[in-house]
Amino acid sequence: MTTNAELWRRAQNALPGGVSSPVRAFGAVGGDPLFVHEAQGAHFVDADGRRFLDFVMSWGPLILGHAHPEIVDALHEATPHGLSYGAPHESELLLAEKVLAWYPGAERVRFTSSGTEATMSALRLARGATGRDRIVKFDGCYHGHSDGLLVAAGSGAKTFGTPSSAGVPGPIAELTSVLPLDDEGRLDEFFAQHGAETAAVIIEPVPANNGLLLQRPVFLERLRALTSEHGVLLIFDEVISGFRVARGGAAELYGIEPDLATFGKIIGGGLPVGAFAGRAELFEHLAPNGPVYQAGTLSGNPAAMTAGLRTLEILERDDAWSRLEELGSRLQEGVHGLQGFVRQGSIFWCDLGAGAADRYRDLFHGCLERGIYLAPSAFEVGFLSTSHTEAHVDELARVLTDVLA
Ligand SMILES: *Cc1c(COP(=O)(O)O)cnc(C)c1O
Q: Which of 78, 118, 89 is nearest to 296 (CA)?
A: 118
- Min mean pLDDT across 184-188, 306-310, 337-341 is at 337-341
Dihedral, CA of residue 144, residue 145, residue 148 and residue 153, to nearest 10: 80
Residues 237 and 305 occupy one common structural domain: yes
CB 323 within 8 A of CB 346: no
Percent of the chain with pLDDT over 70: 99
107 and 63 share one domain:
no
In this structure, the residue with its CA closest to atom 5 of ligand 1 is: 115
User: Are residue 211 and residue 343 in the same domain, yes or no?
Assistant: no
Residues 10 and 143 in one domain: no
pLDDT beyond 80 at 156: no
Opening angle at CA 241, ends 45 and 299, nearest 5 = 80
Give the position, in ligand 1's atom list, of the atom nearest the Cα of 209: 15
The CATH number of the domain holding residue 43 is 3.90.1150.10
Mean pLDDT for 175-193 is 98
Whether residue 265 lies in the annotated active site: yes
Helix (H) or strand (E) segment spanning residue 45: strand 43-46
Which one of 181, 209, 243 would you pick to mutate in the ligand 1 pocket, going by the greatest count of ligand atoms within 8 A of its CB?
A: 209
The Å distance, Cα 239 to ligand 1 centre, comes to 6
- For residues 120 and 182, membership in a common domain is answered with yes
Using the atom order of ligand 1, give the atom closest to the CA of residue 115.
5
Q: For 238, phi and psi rounded to 5 degrees?
A: -105, 30
Active site residue 362: no
Instruction: Please state the pTM of the whole predicted model.
Output: 0.98
Question: CA-to-CA distance for 97 and 310, rounded, in angstroms?
Answer: 13
Cβ(364)–Cβ(27) below 8 Å: no
- In a shared domain, residues 222 and 295: yes
pLDDT tens for 317-334 read 999 999 999 999 999 999
> How high does pLDDT run on average in the chain?
97
Report residues whose beta carbon is within 6 angstroms of any ligand 1 atom.
114-116, 119, 142-144, 204, 209, 237, 239-240, 264, 274
**Which entry of 237, 259, 360, 373 is annotated as an active-site residue?**
237
Q: Give the chain's end-to-end CA distance (angstroms, integer).
A: 37
Has 85 been annotated as catalytic? no
Q: How far is the CA of 205 from the centre of ligand 1 (A)?
A: 13
Give the C-alpha separation, 206 to 347, whole Å: 10
Residue 104: DSSP 8-state: T
| CATH code, 280 | 3.40.640.10
In this predicted model, what pLDDT tens digit does every residue of 355-385 receive, in sequence order?
898 999 999 999 999 999 999 999 999 999 9
Same domain assignment for residues 235 and 138 = yes
Q: What is the dihedral of CA 343, 347, 350, 355, to 10 degrees?
A: -130
What is the residue type of 248? G
Per the structure, how many domains does the chain have?
2
* C-beta of residue 314 within 8 angstroms of C-beta of residue 64: yes
**Where a domain ends, among 270, 288, 316?**
316
Query: Which listed residue (137, 254, 259, 265) is catalytic?
Result: 265
Q: Beta strands 151-152 and 162-163: pairing type? A: antiparallel
**Structural domain for 152, as ranges:** 69-316
Residue whose CB lies within 8 A of the most ligand 1 atoms, among 112, 142, 243, for a mutation test: 142
322 CA → ligand 1 middle, Å: 25
CA distance 118 to 278: 12
Residues 206-257 have pLDDT tens digits of: 999 999 999 999 999 999 999 999 999 999 999 999 999 999 999 999 999 9
pLDDT in tens, 114-154: 999 999 999 999 999 999 999 999 999 999 999 999 999 98
The minimum-distance atom of ligand 1 relative to the CA of 265 is 7
